[in-house]
């Protein structure tokens, strides 16, 4: 597991928090490397000296970090060598999904200024994620950030994970502007039956709102990635969901079907939520087949290679972020490890699956 | 109350009809539904069916209207830059096939090859017209008679464009070391003609036993060298059709299970030597269906290497997937002379291979410019009038319109004019047959058929591809 938050020492702990790029050479907004003692790296940012112990086997030079001297902490917001960088917009949410991987909190700290600076420093052509909570609770600030960053950094791409409850007719003109062509919007949809979807996301009327929002997004020409998590609560309805998407949502760019992540709320409710697709792959096969028949792009996320029938393997994606990916010891012998998405670090085991194992 | 996106229909059998809208969404129903639709007396369950399948909307801007408009728009692609070019470096050929589609020139004839000046102008024309990607198809004549010209074009493209791909259409009568060298590159593909058994192939093409043996020897050798970068097209004469099973055996022998079944085309020299070929539609259709059923019978069981007919798979994709519009003979709008052009041995530019055949046989000059003076925008524009089937009074009543295409050049070639009523055209008759046949397979309850449909469409498991309103 890759550490995203590193302990650090500062010459002045009363220094206000800031964004910097860790660098060997002096430049715009850099914390410049001035000394190395073993694993300990010393950086200079204006008058401030920062000392960070570099995690074993990792290179933090090039990373864009959020520095908090008062907490003796440096957070790696944008890692130069990673494709999985996500910024947390807020921990507030207006839904309460039963399997939420990042349970919401009531409080909110506005970090938009820092996020904007971090984006401006990002490496060329990077894709940066925004997540939450529900990022669109701060719609105005988020839209403004995307627009502003785009004018300076048109090379960057963004992924925003949103429940799409907050798009309105009045947003269409604004969202049609070129800034938003660089954004892929990840929108969860868990069932085509309104009551199933609503009960999973913990909000009555959420499905109805989605069905209103999605055509608004389409009219604005947004790129949409639908996301559906496999759950005991919706697995039996998966073909139906696929038929719904295939007939009513031809404008989505991709449909991601995701296996459950054992963290957050799902951790304690694992056995009432996790569904073993290896034991019964029929609903998954049918859902993929229906969507594929109409030419929809399908991606299977968080699904180890060996747990699905041959015919589904072409749809698998290496979706688990590098910093949380892991493999149990047995997988060392496996011939397809390099193309397998692996497991989440906090639940790295095949024991949940009836069928699977070294190939 | 919901408003239904306008439906067209066509009878599939005594008891069933297919209904479809302009965006290409379709379903099967019966005469009772047709009557209800006609009398504007849809039942509640009719309306629910249509709403659930996104074929009716309840209010402006709702999800169904958006999906309908999106589908419609996906089927109406604007024209794109030139990306597929057929090049004819020479018109000379070393064979004299009885149904040759082009007016070929004798092997030693003079003046039928690109001159140095033509080559230079072809290159400069391509660099001006092609943006990033190019697919070049070398045709003839027999293009391998001018390996030198092909090599120069390949080097040029690889240097100038981000992505290049080359297809050499050759009779494979001569395979020398220089040819072997050219085809060893991964971006080079070879397309040849294989009409079936050696006996049939000799009758139709190679004439003598020695030339026939030489072809089969070369064909095997190239297959061993480049594997699936070699493909073969059969040309079938409806007066002399092979047994489907023998035919598929021949192709299977060369590991070619994806076959493009085409009858002799009523063009060029073929038109003069096979005057009856247009009357053989029903014979051909029978053969076509028999071949498909033979393929389906052979596709039983788990196999990644399955039999398929290229055009039927394309038709199925066009029916089910808006935006599947890469085939220039089957799309609408068919922007003629935009993304696809042919540059002839004399530097003239045509919107398609068929267009040059007509010029060669003296029917009509459809050239749209040349590499020396550039494109003639006016001539190109004149072709667009009939390139859009939704504007045709017949097509706009047809449930297959969205999935079908428009080919005014084919209409011109076969019927002498482009404004023949559509149902009287060979294009329409051929496509109606395949679309009806595709519907028959889609709505078939036979598991074997469903299994093959899933294979052809790349589906992990068979599913119902067509909805039914009872």
Domains, chain B? 82-317+324-370 (3.20.20.70)
B70 vs A294: CB contact, 8 Å cut-off?
Answer: no
Q: How far is CA A186 from CA A115, A225, A273, A319, B434, in A?
A: 19, 5, 22, 14, 40
Q: Higher confidence at residue B60 or residue B96? A: B60
> Does A78 sit behind a cis peptide bond, omega within 30 degrees of 0 on the bond before it?
no
Give long-range contacts, CB 8 A cutoff, 24+ apart: B163-168.
Answer: B163/B132, B163/B133, B163/B134, B164/B133, B164/B134, B164/B135, B164/B136, B165/B134, B165/B135, B165/B136, B165/B189, B166/B135, B166/B136, B166/B137, B166/B138, B167/B135, B167/B136, B167/B137, B167/B138, B167/B191, B168/B138, B168/B143, B168/B144
Closest chain B C-alpha to A292 CA, distance in angstroms: 6
CB A301 within 8 A of CB A317: yes
**Helices marked H in chain A — which ranges?**
112-121, 139-152, 172-175, 194-201, 206-219, 238-248, 265-268, 270-273, 282-293, 310-313
Q: Chain A partners of B460 at a C-beta cutoff of 8 Å?
A: 285, 288-289, 292, 309, 311-312, 315
Q: Chain A partners of B52 at a C-beta cutoff of 8 Å?
A: 247
- Please give the angle made by the CA atoms of B413, B414 and B417, to the nearest 5 degrees: 70
Q: How far is CA B38 from CA B8, B23, B32, B35, B394, in A?
A: 11, 20, 10, 5, 19
Q: How confident is residue B415, by pLDDT bands cut at 50, 70 and 90?
A: confident
Nearest chain B Cα to A221, which residue? B70
Q: Among residues A55, A60, A92, A96, which one has the least CA distance to residue A79? A: A60
Q: Which domains does chain A have, with CATH numbers?
A: 5-78 (no CATH), 85-347 (3.20.20.70)
3-state secondary structure string across chain B: CCEECCEEEEEEECCEEEEEECCCCEEEECHHHHHHHHCCCCCHHHHHHHHHCCCEECCCCCHHHHHHHHHHHHCCCCCCCEEEEEECCECECCCCCCCCCCCCECCCCCCCECCHHHHHHHHHHHHHHEEEEEEEEECCCCHHHHHHHHHHHHHHHHHHCCEEEEEEECCCCCCCHHHHHHHCCCCEEEEEECCCCHHHHHHHHHCCHHHHHHHHHHHHHHHHHHHHHEEEECCECCCCCCCHHHHHHHHHHCCCCEECCCECCCCHHHHHHCCCHHHCHHHHHHHHHHHHHHHHHHCCCCCCCCCEEHHHHHHHHHHHCCCCCCCCCCCCCCCCCCCEEEECCCCEEECCHHHHHHHHCCCCCCCCEECCCEECHHHHHHCHHHCCHHHCCCHHHCCCCCCCCCCHHHHHHHHCCCCCCHHHCHHHHHHHHHHHHHHHHHCCCCHHHHHHHHHHHCCCCCCCCCEECC
Task: Indicate the residue of B62, B64, B321 with minimum beta-carbon distance to A294.
Answer: B321
B67 vs A249: CB contact, 8 Å cut-off?
Answer: yes
Nearest chain A Cα to B302, which residue? A311
Q: Chain B partners of A292 at a C-beta cutoff of 8 Å?
A: 457-460
Q: Among residues B366, B370, B346, B339, which one has the least CA distance to residue B354? A: B366
Nearest chain B Cα to A282, which residue? B461
Number of cross-chain residue pairs from A and B with Cβ atoms under 8 Å apart: 71
pLDDT of residue A264: 93
Q: Chain B partners of A248 at a C-beta cutoff of 8 Å?
A: 54, 63-64, 67
Closest chain B C-alpha to A242 CA, distance in angstroms: 12
pLDDT of residue B279: 61
Q: How many residues does the structure list for chain B?
A: 470
Give the residue-averaged pLDDT of B432-451: 97
Q: Among residues A52, A103, A102, which one has the least CA distance to residue A76? A: A52
CB-based contact, B62 to chain A, within 8 Å: yes
Q: How confident is residue B419, by pLDDT bands cut at 50, 70 and 90?
A: confident
Q: Which of A264-268, B51-55, B239-243 is least confident? A: B239-243
For chain A of 359 residues, list the mean pLDDT of each consecutive stretch of 10.
Answer: 88 95 94 92 95 90 96 95 92 96 92 97 96 96 98 97 97 97 98 98 97 96 98 97 97 97 94 96 97 97 94 92 86 92 89 90
Portion of chain B with pLDDT greater than 90, in percent: 69
B463 vs A290: CB contact, 8 Å cut-off?
Answer: yes
Q: Higher confidence at residue B239 or residue A316? A: A316
Is the pLDDT score of B396 beyond 70?
yes
A286 vs B64: CB contact, 8 Å cut-off?
Answer: no
CB-based contact, B2 to chain A, within 8 Å: no
Q: Which of A74-78, A204-208, B46-50, B282-286 is least confident? A: B282-286
Give the residue-averaged pLDDT of B99-120: 83
Q: Chain B partners of A219 at a C-beta cutoff of 8 Å?
A: 61, 66
A250 vs B62: CB contact, 8 Å cut-off?
Answer: no
């Amino acid at each position: 597991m890759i550490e995203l938050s590193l302990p650090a020492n500062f010459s002045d702990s009363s220094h206000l928090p800031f964004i910097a790029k860790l660098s060997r050479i002096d430049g715009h907004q850099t914390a410049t490397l001035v000394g190395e003692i073993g694993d300990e790296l010393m950086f200079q940012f204006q008058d401030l000296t920062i000392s960070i112990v570099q995690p074993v086997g990792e290179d933090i030079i090039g990373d864009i970090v959020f520095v908090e001297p008062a907490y003796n902490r440096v957070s790696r917001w944008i890692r130069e060598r990673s494709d999985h960088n996500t910024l947390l917009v807020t921990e507030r949410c207006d839904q309460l999904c039963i399997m939420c991987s990042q349970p919401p909190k009531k409080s909110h700290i506005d970090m938009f200024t820092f996020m904007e600076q971090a984006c401006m420093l990002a490496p060329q052509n990077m894709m940066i994620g925004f997540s939450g909570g529900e990022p669109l609770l701060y719609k105005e600030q988020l839209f403004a950030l995307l627009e502003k960053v785009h004018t300076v950094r048109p090379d960057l791409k963004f992924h925003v994970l949103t429940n799409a409850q907050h798009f309105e007719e009045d947003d269409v003109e604004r969202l049609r502007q070129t800034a938003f062509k660089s954004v892929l919007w990840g929108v969860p949809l868990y069932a085509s039956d309104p009551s199933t979807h609503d009960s999973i996301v913990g909000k009555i009327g959420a499905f109805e709102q989605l069905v209103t929002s999605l055509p608004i997004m389409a009219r604005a020409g947004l790129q949409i990635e639908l996301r559906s998590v496999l759950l005991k609560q919706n697995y039996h309805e998966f073909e139906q969901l696929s038929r719904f998407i295939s007939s009513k949502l031809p404008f989505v760019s991709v449909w991601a079907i995701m296996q459950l992540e054992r963290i957050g709320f799902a951790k304690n409710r694992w056995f009432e939520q996790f569904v073993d697709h290896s034991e019964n792959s029929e609903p998954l096969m049918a859902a993929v087949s229906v969507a594929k028949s109409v030419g929809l792009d399908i991606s299977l996320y968080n699904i180890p290679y060996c747990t699905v029938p041959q015919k589904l393997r072409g749809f698998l994606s290496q979706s688990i972020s590098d910093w949380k990916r892991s493999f149990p010891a047995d997988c060392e012998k496996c011939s397809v490890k390099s193309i397998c998405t692996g497991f989440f670090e906090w639940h790295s085991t095949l024991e949940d699956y009836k069928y699977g194992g070294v190939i | 109350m919901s408003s239904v996106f306008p439906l067209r229909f066509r009878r599939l059998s005594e008891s069933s009809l297919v209904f479809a809208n302009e965006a290409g969404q379709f379903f099967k129903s019966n005469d009772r539904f047709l009557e209800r639709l006609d009398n504007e007396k849809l039942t509640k369950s009719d309306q629910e069916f249509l709403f659930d399948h996104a074929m009716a909307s309840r209010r402006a801007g709702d999800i169904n209207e958006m999906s309908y408009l999106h589908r419609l728009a996906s089927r109406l692609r604007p024209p794109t830059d030139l990306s597929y070019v057929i090049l004819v470096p020479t018109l000379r050929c070393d064979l004299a096939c009885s149904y040759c589609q082009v007016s070929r020139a004798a092997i030693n004839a003079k003046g039928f090859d690109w001159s140095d000046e033509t080559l230079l102008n072809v290159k400069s024309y391509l660099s001006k017209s092609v943006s990033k990607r190019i697919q070049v198809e070398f045709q003839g004549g027999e293009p391998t008679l001018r390996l030198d010209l092909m090599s120069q074009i390949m080097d040029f493209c690889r240097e100038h464009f981000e992505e290049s791909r080359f297809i050499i259409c050759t009779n494979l009568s001569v395979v020398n070391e220089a040819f072997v060298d050219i085809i060893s590159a991964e971006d080079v593909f070879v397309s040849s003609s294989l009409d079936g058994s050696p006996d049939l192939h000799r009758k139709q093409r190679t004439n003598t036993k020695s030339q026939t043996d030489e072809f089969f020897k070369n064909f095997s050798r190239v297959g061993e060298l480049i594997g699936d970068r070699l493909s073969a097209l059969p040309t079938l004469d409806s007066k002399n059709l092979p047994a489907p099973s023998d035919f598929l055996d021949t192709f299977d022998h060369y590991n070619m299970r994806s076959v493009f079944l085409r009858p002799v085309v009523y063009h060029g020299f073929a038109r003069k030597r096979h005057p009856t070929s247009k009357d053989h539609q029903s014979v051909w259709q029978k053969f076509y269906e028999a071949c498909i059923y033979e393929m389906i019978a052979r596709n039983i069981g788990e196999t990644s290497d399955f039999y398929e007919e290229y055009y039927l798979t394309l038709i199925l994709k066009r029916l089910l997937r808006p935006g599947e519009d890469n085939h220039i003979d089957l799309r609408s709008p068919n922007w003629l002379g935009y993304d696809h052009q042919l540059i002839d041995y004399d530097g003239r530019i045509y919107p398609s291979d068929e267009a040059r055949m007509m010029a060669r046989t003296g029917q009509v000059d459809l050239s749209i410019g040349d590499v020396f003076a550039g494109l003639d925008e006016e001539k190109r524009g004149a072709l667009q009038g009939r390139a859009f089937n939704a504007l045709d009074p017949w097509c706009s009543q047809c449930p297959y319109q969205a999935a079908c295409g428009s080919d005014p050049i084919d209409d011109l070639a076969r019927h002498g004019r482009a404004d023949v009523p559509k149902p009287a055209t060979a294009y329409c008759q051929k496509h109606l047959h395949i679309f009806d046949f595709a519907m028959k397979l889609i709505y078939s309850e036979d598991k074997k058929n469903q299994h093959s449909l899933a294979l052809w469409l790349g589906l992990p498991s068979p599913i119902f591809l067509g909805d039914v309103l009872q």
